[in-house]
Chains A and B, each alone.
Chain A
């Protein structure tokens, strides 16, 4: 079966750094997406990792280790507007074109 694990909730302080982890066990793997979703809104794309390593995009970075079935999203210089759910999603092998989402990590940023 397909299994994606993320912590349910995290809290952090404005200006700090937070790391949101995601582990996955899937039959077939083609890449990993991170999405941000504010309450009641649509998810918005943050990053897509296919190869091992760190991808940096402004205040957000995403890391992938395919051999360990592990990814993390790193958020730096946290702002209040970063309070949202962060969804990890695994893209399965081509031919199925399925994107399997984790249940998301709800991040609360406090002043």
Chain B
């Protein structure tokens, strides 16, 4: 158990819909990262927040957005969902960069 929690564990939704994935970092960690992992693909970095502020952006689509709240939990919002958005979405946290990141169990999103 890494100490990072993610909800929900599984999510099944239809194309065109909008979903919100939630992440609570390890106690004391200020940085939160979001990753997408599709079948046969590596982990794709989406976005990083540090203490409530956006710090780095990766290959995040405009249909996706994220935020980190004052209590440091983070949410990833995915809208106008497409079949290709089906993937495992991981959240990770660290004290700061470039320290080791601890990954949550992931949310498996299926878009039908």
A residues whose Cβ falls under 8 Å from a Cβ of B: 30-31, 33, 41-45, 48, 87, 89, 91, 94, 96-104
Which residue of chain B has its CB nearest to the CB of A48? B100
Query: What are 14 residue pairs bridging A and B, where the CB atoms are less than 8 Å apart in the complex?
Result: A30-B98, A42-B2, A42-B105, A42-B106, A43-B43, A43-B103, A44-B2, A45-B100, A48-B100, A97-B50, A99-B33, A101-B44, A102-B42, A103-B41
| B residues less than 8 Å from A103 (CB atoms) | 41-42
Chain B: interface residue count, which band?
20 to 34
B residues whose Cβ falls under 8 Å from a Cβ of A: 2, 31, 33, 35, 41-45, 48, 50, 55-56, 58, 90, 97-98, 100-106
CB distance from A71 to the nearest CB of B (A): 15
CB distance from A43 to the nearest CB of B (A): 5
Q: Which 4 A-B pairs have the closest CB atoms?
A: A42-B103, A103-B42, A101-B43, A45-B100
CB atoms of B100 and A33 under 8 A apart: yes
C-alpha spacing A54/B13, complex, angstroms: 47
C-alpha spacing A77/B31, complex, angstroms: 35
Known: A33-B101, A44-B2. 16 other contacts (CB 8 A): A42-B90, A43-B43, A43-B90, A44-B103, A45-B100, A45-B102, A87-B42, A94-B97, A97-B31, A97-B50, A97-B56, A97-B97, A99-B101, A101-B42, A101-B43, A103-B42
C-alpha spacing A5/B43, complex, angstroms: 14
C-alpha spacing A43/B106, complex, angstroms: 10
C-alpha spacing A94/B101, complex, angstroms: 15
C-alpha spacing A91/B35, complex, angstroms: 15
